[in-house]
Amino acid sequence: MLALMRRSACGIAAFFLACSYAAYPSSADNMTRVDTFGGWSLIADTKTPHVICFVTAEPTSSAPANTQRDAPRAYISAWPKSGIKGEVSFRMGFKIKKGAEGLAKVSPAGFRLFGSGDRAYVNDSTQELKLLDAMRKGSALTVAIAADGGATVTDTYSLNGLGVAMQMMQQACF
C-alpha cells in the first residue's frame, strides 16, 4: 500500500511538473524539449544532473469525440535521483469516476488501471514493466476509463517513435 501511495504521489508530481511546462511560459525556462520521435516528445529539466525527464504524446483519436475535457496526454516519467526509469501515467483531462477500473491495451495484452483525480495509473509495478515492454514493441495503445459522469472514454495513441524516445530518455537523463 505504501508503495502504491508513493507511486501515486510521484505520478501526481510529474503531472504538476508537466502542466507547469505546458501552461506557464516562465516555467518553460526550467524544462526543455530535447527532441521529438514520431508522436512522442522527450522533455527534460535544465538541471545537471536531471531531476525529471519524461516522454509524452497526445492521442491520435478519442471516443466519444464530444467529451468535454482538458487535453489528454500519455506520460512515461523518469526521476534519475530516485532511480525511477519509467513510470506510466495518463492524464485523461476529466475527473475519473471513483472506483472505476480502466484498461490500457497494446494488442493482444491488456493492463488494469486505477484512477486518481484526472490521472490513470497501472495497478502494480510488475504490470507497468510489462506495459512498457508492450508499448516499445507495439504500434498502438488504447486507454479506456469511465468519467465521473459515467461515460467510458477511450483514447488511442500511436506508439511510433516511442522506443527511440525512451532509449534517448535513458541516455539523456541517467
pLDDT in tens, 34-63: 999 999 999 999 998 899 999 999 999 999
pLDDT at 22 exceeding the cut of 90: no
Fold (topology level) of 2-173 = Immunoglobulin-like (2.60.40)
Enter the C-alpha cell of residue 116.
486518481
pLDDT number for residue 20: 35
pLDDT number for residue 52: 95
Matching residue, cell 512515461: 76
pLDDT number for residue 128: 97
Average pLDDT, the chain: 86
**Confidence bin at 94 (pLDDT 50/70/90):** very high
